[in-house]
Chain A
Amino acid sequence: MSAASSGSDKRVEVVLIYQSLLGIYGDRGNATVLMKRLAWRGYDPVLHVVEPGDPLPETGDVYLLGGGEDAAQISAVKALKQDGSIYRAVDRGAAVFAVCAGYQILGNTFTIGDDDTVTEGLGLLDVTTRRGPARAVGELLGRWIDHSGEEQWITGFENHGGYTTLGPDAKPVTQVEVGIGNDGTGFDGAQNGTVLAIYPHGPALARNPALADHVLELALGTTLPPIDRPEITELRRQRIAAARS
């Protein structure tokens, strides 16, 4: 359990990676959500906002990647490979949660630009991304089975031109009811161990508290008590209804 290494078992370090490159649309919200959910439970969360050129902390518990434009994706991959810390983080069992373009760069390869240049990703998820037949833009609704075997709905907004195919070492996160997801064949996201990514972009965890807690549980290796926030329950009801309408 990585939190123990920091000296206090209540201290949890959240690392928000390259907001300037991968923070295109509210992605920092995932950090806001994780920090607050930890604080609500009496943890002592610490947020590291890391920009390219600065080293990623070696003690992070959760690493977050957001969405970004093509050029930003290339820069982010380059900087993360140079830094190397994210590989060590995964090796020691820290959680990585990515959305949208952040999901694509975790994979083996993805394409960018009008000429679909194939670019190497971080290789932390066994997925490949290529330009799809039509841009996927709209509400996404997917069925997710949490660790206790309970069925949950993941609701979000997807906006991506790349379509992602999973290799044998990645398993999809949700079964898509509404939306395109990975490639329009019925699934969204990919997970391998503590590395988890989905297409719903921006502050995806804001609408999906169970998934937020799942990411924290992956990082901490414990089960967290549920939190009841009626405004989130109501938002989920509205968004699930909107996706289905």
Chain B
Amino acid sequence: MLVAGDETAARRGMGDNSAMPLPETALAPLDVPGSRPRLAPVPRIRLAAATTAGRLAARASRLAGRGTGTAIQGQVMLKADPQALAKLLHGRRIAMVSGTNGKTTTTHLLAASVGAALVDRGWGGPERIVHNADGANLHGGIASALSKKPGADIAILETDERVVADVVRLGRPEVLVLLNFSRDQLDRHHEIKALARAWRNALISAGDEGPIVVANADEPLVVWAAKEAKQTVWVDTASTWLQDAVLCPQCGGTLLRIEGEFGKTWRCRDCELAEPTADYRVLGDKISTPDGSLHDPRLQLPGKFNISNAACALAAAGVLGIDPDVAIAGMQTVTSPAGRFGTAHFGSTTARLLLAKNPAGWAEALPLVATDTVILAIDSAAADGRDVSWLWDVEYEQLAGRRVIATGPRAQDLAVRLAYAGVDHVCLPDLGQAVVGHTEPVDIVATYTPFQRLRKMGGLA
């Protein structure tokens, strides 16, 4: 019987893939369909009951107007069967993506790549893939997504930073993408290094059973965690956000930024930790692959940071044995991952929705703002972080000259920030009031909670 408490037996139970001829990467690539057993025929009665309980809860939540109910469904399911996540993960081939910013988009890009590869080879298509596409990325959200597609043998999972260790342990993913680490919600995560340490420890305990890690070589904390993986594919993402990485995570020494062949690189002054040589590189709006060829992703998504996300997705697709051109063709179908960059309509107003969850996210989003009137929506619900001190780490000064509308429950905090930034603004805390009546298109940048509300109000969810 398969239970999460007896993982070794579970592993052995998956058994016969040791007899499979493996390629040089020691991975069964995607082009061997069914290379792992499908969802194992283990006792699933309790799980089935848990799934039903979860569905009922989700429907109740939807009826009560509290969102899609995905996370609640998963929570109820996990309460009914604490092993549900382990069981749901079991027997699937798993790729997962984590990091502070960009994980929803990168997961969408990777899922689209895998879907394109399956179609390209004639081995099915998206029906084989389960993906928590709505961005519900904690235990419950992942369990809920998996329960909806029991037959899908490939799981592409966006995973919250705090859940990475559990999914690595329970699901034995083949590839783990680690994007970046920045300060986010400090009222909950007191030290970002503690999160990096959890990733690192998960990879150390997984050992040879662990995933191949695709990691952002620009970020010292990510490198420190990822170098413990059995194998790492490094991506030079050409990141520009450096405020959150100052001290060496390995020795506490000072990190030096030095000019290298491909722009800025970093190394520790006091120990050997240094930026690894990249396998994939972001070069302007193009991406170079390990064979030295240059690819132009031509995404439908705006912004340099999405080229970085695409580079990481491309590297992960490479680990799964997917040809870069096929992967990119898949990525080009992605338009609005979980509402991001989507066009919403509020009465006669047409608005583009941008999500920015923390200073690094705002630094990416604000330069994309292209409209004369811009709406900024701020909240401090649990999902946004209760503390809005981060407003002072964002360069709102760059909005000077535009008409800014501050909205959301913490609009007044933003209004004070804008006053000190010398940016003219009006403060309309009510979201509905802020978004209606614009004759020209507007860009809206929002923190998590108002973003989700605006998605629904604007017909994007």
Contact = CB atoms under 8 A, between A and B. Distances in A.
Nearest to B393: A26
Contacts of B243: 19-20, 23
A203 B187 contact: no
B150 interface: no
B416 A231 contact: yes
Contacts of B390: 25-26, 202
**Interface size band for B:** 20 to 34
A161 B425 CA distance: 37
A71 B252 CA distance: 6
A203 B392 contact: yes
Contacts of A145: none
Contacts of A238: 412
A146 interface: no
B258 to A, nearest CB: 15
Nearest to B191: A69
A229 interface: yes
A206 B191 contact: no
A26 B389 contact: yes
B190 A28 contact: no
A42 to B, nearest CB: 16
B392 A159 contact: no
Contact of A232 (B247, B393, B416, B421): B416
A33 interface: yes
Interface string A27-57: 1110011001000000000000000110000
Interface in A167-218: 201-203, 206-207
A26 B391 contact: yes
A145 to B, nearest CB: 24
A21 interface: yes
Interface in A222-243: 229, 231-232, 234-235, 238
Contacts of A234: 412, 415
A80 interface: no
A53 B255 CA distance: 12
Contact of B389 (A33, A71, A157): A157
Given A159-B190, A161-B190, A229-B419, A28 B392 contact: yes
Contacts of A202: 387, 389-390, 392
B262 to A, nearest CB: 23
Contacts of B419: 229, 231-232
B405 interface: no
Contacts of A6: none
A231 B415 contact: yes
B420 A32 contact: yes
Residue among A25, A69, A157, A238 with most chain B CB within 10 A: A25
Given A21-B246, A72-B247, 13 more contacts: A19-B243, A20-B246, A26-B391, A29-B393, A71-B252, A74-B252, A161-B190, A206-B416, A206-B417, A231-B415, A231-B427, A232-B419, A238-B412
